[in-house]
């Protein structure tokens, strides 16, 4: 294929199309997300909209594949179509341009096709049916080995007559979802595992901006474990936009729980403090929900009963997009979005260091609360120390 004929991409969006009066807000959010995504790509890009459509015009010398790769990271886009933009120089010229387009894009002509013309400009001298027939004929004249198939063509050649004439046939899938920035802000509890990056990605796909908290436990967890979480945040930030990653030193709280609370309740009590601290930073960042990678029954701390205990310590809703996902389904998404390879690097996690041999799977909230009181003398100081020592990394 000759990629050099393309200087413009047509961006198609789905759900934004049905947002009624607020539609322009969603379109503008999508435009600014596209601009953000392309800001790291060499070249100049102009992103603009016409009713129902967004176009990205690219300057000379841009990298076609890189632009498509960037656009594949922008939530809200369902199709990316490299498009030929032609001035209206009469039908004969259009026919010639289309014949050349076909050759540039499909050097191998062993194909079936159909022309699908649309006239948004009603003063065009031919109607859609006439355009379809005449262009189909011009293409067949030039390449007799092609075949027309009006039901299931391999190539659907779209010809849209607007102020310019837009010709496209390749449709590259985008990630779908809603543009980031249209759905509020969430605070993701981001560990170095497989699940939480996927959970953050999924919620952000619905238009939610993301900040994150990571709990580490030096010297029990290493700098490399911390770097791994920063790397994961970087990968999802390509989709979600900038993430303020709060790196919380959790060691002293974990040690205090270990010392003062029953060992079979360690994980639950630890998770309750994670939620409280995450909620503290959510309030600071203007986040109105917490996000975790929990899935029912995956481990003892993720039974429904355990989630009752972790939920009750925070007021904000806790979003658990993976709640009903099997591990393999989560892995499939992690591979697709590019986090899997990093997630499986073998560094220790703070949760795995102080685990009990037989953790409770049906914690009783009243008993957990009672045992948590064993921390009353120390916890305020420990939390204050956490808030003083948290490091915030801006991940872009
Ligand atoms: P993940 O693959 O996301 O690490 P997991 O299967 O290891 O999940 P848990 O360790 O029980 O499960 O953690 C459940 C959820 O709690 C995680 O998905 C994450 O949202 C949060 N979490 C766990 N450990 C941490 C941590 N060290 N820092 C921040 N969040 C954490
Ligand atoms: Mg984990």
Q: Is 27 in the pocket of ligand 1 (CB under 6 A)?
A: no
Judge whether 179 lies within some domain.
Answer: no
The CB-side HSE value for 229 (13 A sphere, CA atoms) comes to 31
Residues 60 and 129 in one domain: yes
**Residues 156, 154: Cα–Cα separation, whole Å:** 7
Judge whether 102 lies within some domain.
Answer: yes
Q: Is 273 in the pocket of ligand 1 (CB under 6 A)?
A: no
**Residues 251, 224: Cα–Cα separation, whole Å:** 16
Q: Considering only CA atoms, which residue is closest to atom 21 of ligand 1?
A: 189
How many domains does the chain divide into?
2
Judge whether 180 lies within some domain.
Answer: no
Q: Which residues of 13-37 are buried (b: 16+ CB within 10 A; e: fewer)?
A: beebeeeeeeeeebbebbbebbebb
Judge whether 159 lies within some domain.
Answer: yes
* Beta strands at 172-173 and 155-161: parallel, antiparallel or unpaired: unpaired
Q: Of how many residues is the chain composed?
A: 396
Residues 167 and 190 in one domain: no
Q: Is 295 in the pocket of ligand 1 (CB under 6 A)?
A: no
The helix/strand/coil state of 157 is strand
Question: What are the pLDDT tens digits along the chain (396 aa)?
Answer: 899 999 999 999 977 756 677 888 899 999 999 999 999 899 999 999 988 789 999 998 899 999 999 999 999 999 999 999 999 999 999 999 999 999 999 999 999 999 999 998 888 999 999 999 999 999 999 999 999 999 999 999 999 999 899 999 999 999 999 999 999 999 999 999 999 999 999 999 999 999 999 999 999 999 999 999 999 999 999 999 999 999 999 999 999 999 999 999 999 999 999 999 999 999 999 999 999 999 998 877 788 988 999 999 999 999 999 999 999 999 999 999 999 999 999 877 766 667 777 788 888 999 999 999 999 999 999 999 999 999 999 999
Q: Is 211 in the pocket of ligand 1 (CB under 6 A)?
A: no
**Domain termination site, one of 146, 173, 200:** 173
Pair of tokens at residue 22:
């607020």
Residues 347 and 307 in one domain: yes
Q: Is 194 in the pocket of ligand 1 (CB under 6 A)?
A: yes
What CATH number is given to the structural domain containing 304? 3.40.50.620
Residues 102 and 44 in one domain: yes
**Domain termination site, one of 149, 173, 197:** 173
Judge whether 152 lies within some domain.
Answer: yes
Residues 214 and 289 in one domain: yes
Pair of tokens at residue 206:
């619905």
**Domain termination site, one of 138, 173, 208:** 173
Q: Which residues of 215-243 are buried (b: 16+ CB within 10 A; e: fewer)?
A: bbbeebbeeebbebbbebbebbbbbbbeb
Residues 166 and 208 in one domain: no
Whole-model pTM: value is 0.93
Ligand 1 atom nearest to 322, measured from its CA: 18
Residues 100 and 225 in one domain: no
Output the CA 119–ligand 1 centroid distance in Å. 53
Domain containing 21 equals 3-173
Q: Considering only CA atoms, which residue is closest to atom 20 of ligand 1?
A: 292
């Amino acid at each position: 294929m000759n990629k050099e004929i393309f200087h413009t991409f047509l961006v198609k969006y789905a759900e934004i199309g049905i947002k009624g009066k607020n539609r322009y807000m969603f379109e503008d959010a999508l435009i600014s997300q596209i601009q953000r995504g392309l800001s790291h790509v060499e070249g100049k890009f102009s992103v603009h909209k016409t009713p129902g459509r967004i176009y990205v015009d690219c300057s000379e010398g841009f990298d076609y594949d890189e632009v498509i790769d960037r656009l594949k990271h922008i939530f809200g886009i369902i199709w990316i179509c490299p498009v030929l933009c032609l001035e209206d120089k009469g039908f004969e010229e259009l026919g010639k341009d289309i014949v050349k387009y076909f050759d540039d894009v499909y050097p191998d002509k062993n194909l079936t096709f159909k022309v699908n013309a649309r006239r948004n400009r009603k003063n065009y001298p031919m109607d859609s049916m006439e355009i379809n027939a005449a262009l189909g004929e011009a293409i067949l004249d030039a390449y007799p080995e092609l075949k027309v198939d009006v039901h299931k063509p391999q190539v659907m050649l779209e010809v849209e007559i607007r102020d310019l004439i837009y010709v496209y046939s390749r449709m590259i899938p985008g990630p779908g979802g809603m543009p980031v920035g249209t759905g509020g802000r969430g605070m993701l509890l981001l560990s170095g595992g497989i699940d939480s990056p996927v959970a953050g990605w999924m919620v952000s796909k619905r238009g939610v901006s993301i900040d994150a908290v990571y709990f580490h436990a030096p010297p029990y967890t290493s700098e490399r474990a911390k770097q791994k979480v920063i790397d994961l945040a970087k990968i999802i930030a390509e989709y979600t936009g900038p993430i303020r990653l709060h790196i919380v030193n959790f060691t002293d709280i974990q040690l205090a729980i270990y010392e003062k609370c029953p060992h079979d309740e360690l994980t639950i009590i630890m998770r309750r403090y994670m939620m409280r601290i995450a909620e503290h930073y959510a309030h600071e960042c203007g986040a109105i929900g917490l996000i975790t990678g929990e899935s029912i029954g995956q481990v003892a701390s993720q039974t429904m009963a355990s989630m009752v205990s972790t939920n009750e310590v925070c007021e904000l809703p806790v979003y658990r997009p993976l709640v009903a996902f099997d591990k393999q389904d989560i892995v499939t998404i992690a591979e697709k979005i590019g986090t899997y390879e990093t997630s499986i690097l073998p560094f220790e996690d703070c949760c795995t260091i102080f685990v009990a041999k037989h953790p409770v799977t049906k914690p009783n909230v009243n008993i957990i609360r009672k045992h948590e009181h064993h921390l009353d003398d120390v916890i305020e100081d420990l939390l204050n120390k956490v808030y003083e020592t948290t490091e915030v990394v801006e991940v872009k």
